[in-house]
């Protein structure tokens, strides 16, 4: 009985230690998500400036020509996690990559995160390039720049032939949930460029620029790609930490439930020990009382 009580005590102490670790990880997830969310809000202002520049360009040069999307090369850039403890986060992303835009599988996959690379392998998809997620906010810009370089390299290897590039990442949805989303990166969304071209120019002075139209458009598109990649990476990291926070909250509740169960078992064992000791005292007292009564009867006889 004493050994069992000691075992339960050790288990309760282990639960207390695990709860401390889970609480620390929950706090770290909440703290880590905040800077990435602030970075996403900051880059949105830059994105609005880039779109204003594209609006000015389209006002002067007119709408962009339509680009055929029937390209042999379909590139998908998937933003996953490099650490675990976030549930089926990477598995959902891998399934989204497998479906691809229009239910067409990609011919080339650029993967961010070792955990996502393993999840893609589980779906039978081999990543052509695997990159590490940013370790901090400063790494978001470096990752976006690296991805633009990879896109340029793929485009250069194809001799300038057309290709489509899509982004796959986890996005926050209503009621605090998350869902994988596929966003078109290249060619530029014709609905977006068409809306910019159709929007009237607010100023009485027409915009002008000193660069040639080709160089100006290339600079604007490159800046737009940077903002889209930056935003996708930031959103992926926010949702990853949110997913880990949710799992840690579930683990904390499960640990608290187990601690209550152990505490109940310990109370029952202690009560059982007390009851056993009381019964031993009562039985001993009754035996002693019976023995004394018998001796008294023997003397009287």
pLDDT at 252: 85
How confident is the model at residue 1, as a pLDDT? 43
Q: Which two tokens stand for residue 20?
A: 């401390």
C-alpha to C-alpha distance for 73 and 263, rounded to whole angstroms: 61
List the end-to-end C-alpha distance of the chain, in Å, as a whole number.
46
Note whether 94 and 123 are within 8 A (CB).
yes
Q: Which domains does the chain show, CATH number per domain? A: 22-252 (3.40.1380.10)
Q: Could you give phi then psi for residue 182, rounded to 5 degrees? A: -110, 125
Low-confidence ranges of the chain (pLDDT < 70): 1-3, 68-72, 100-106, 159-161, 176, 291, 295-301
Helices (H), 62-162: 89-99, 114-122, 138-157
Are the C-beta atoms of residues 72 and 107 closer than 8 Å to each other?
Answer: yes
Q: Which residues contact 216 (CB under 8 A, 6 or more apart)?
A: 57, 209
What is the three-class DSSP state of 188? coil
pLDDT value for 248: 86
DSSP 23-90: HHHHHHHHHHHHHHHHHHHHHHHHHHHHHHHHHHHHHHH-SPPP-----SEEEEEEE--SS--STTHH
d(CA 190, CA 185): 11
pLDDT in tens, 65-108: 877 666 567 899 999 988 877 878 899 999 998 886 655 666 78
- Cα dist from 295 to 54, 118, 289, 298, 300, whole Å: 113, 84, 10, 5, 9
Q: pLDDT at position 106, please?
A: 66
| Mutual angle of helices 213-300 and 138-157, in 10-degree steps | 130
Provide the sign of the torsion angle of the four alpha carbons 155, 157, 161, 167, taken in this order.
Answer: negative
DSSP-based three-state secondary structure for 184: strand
Per-residue pLDDT of 237-266, as tens digits, reads 999 888 888 888 888 888 888 888 888 888
Q: How much is the pLDDT for 109? A: 92
Question: Which residues are CB-contacts of 36 (< 8 A; sequence separation ≥ 6)?
Answer: 137, 140, 234, 237, 238, 241
- Reading the block at residue 33, the tokens are 């998500």
């Amino acid at each position: 009985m004493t050994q069992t009580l000691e075992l339960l005590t050790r288990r309760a102490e282990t639960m207390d230690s695990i709860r401390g670790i889970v609480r620390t990880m929950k706090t770290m997830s909440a703290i880590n998500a905040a800077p990435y969310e602030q970075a996403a809000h900051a880059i949105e202002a830059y994105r609005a400036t880039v779109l204003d520049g594209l609006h000015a360009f389209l006002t002067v040069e007119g709408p962009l020509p339509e680009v055929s999307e029937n390209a042999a090369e379909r590139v998908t850039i998937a933003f996953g996690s490099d650490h675990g403890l976030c549930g089926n986060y990477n598995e959902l992303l891998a399934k989204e990559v497998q479906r691809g835009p229009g239910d067409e599988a990609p011919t080339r996959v650029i993967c961010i995160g070792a955990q996502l690379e393993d999840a893609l392998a589980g779906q039978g998809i081999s990543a052509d390039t695997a990159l590490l997620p940013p370790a901090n906010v400063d790494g978001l810009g470096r990752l976006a720049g690296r991805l633009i370089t990879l896109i340029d390299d793929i485009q250069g290897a194809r001799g300038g032939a057309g290709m489509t590039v899509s982004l796959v990442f986890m996005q926050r949805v209503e009621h605090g949930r998350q869902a994988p989303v596929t966003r078109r990166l290249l060619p530029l969304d014709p609905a977006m460029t068409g809306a910019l071209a159709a929007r009237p120019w607010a100023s009485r002075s027409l915009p002008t620029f000193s660069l040639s139209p080709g160089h100006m458009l290339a600079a604007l598109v490159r800046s737009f790609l940077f903002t889209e990649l930056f935003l996708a990476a930031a959103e992926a990291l926010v949702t990853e930490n949110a997913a880990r926070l949710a799992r840690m909250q579930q683990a904390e509740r499960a640990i608290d439930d187990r601690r209550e169960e152990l505490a109940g078992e310990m109370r029952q064992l202690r009560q059982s020990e007390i009851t056993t000791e009381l019964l031993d005292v009562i039985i001993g007292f009754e035996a002693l009382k019976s023995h004394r009564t018998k001796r008294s009867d023997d003397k009287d006889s």
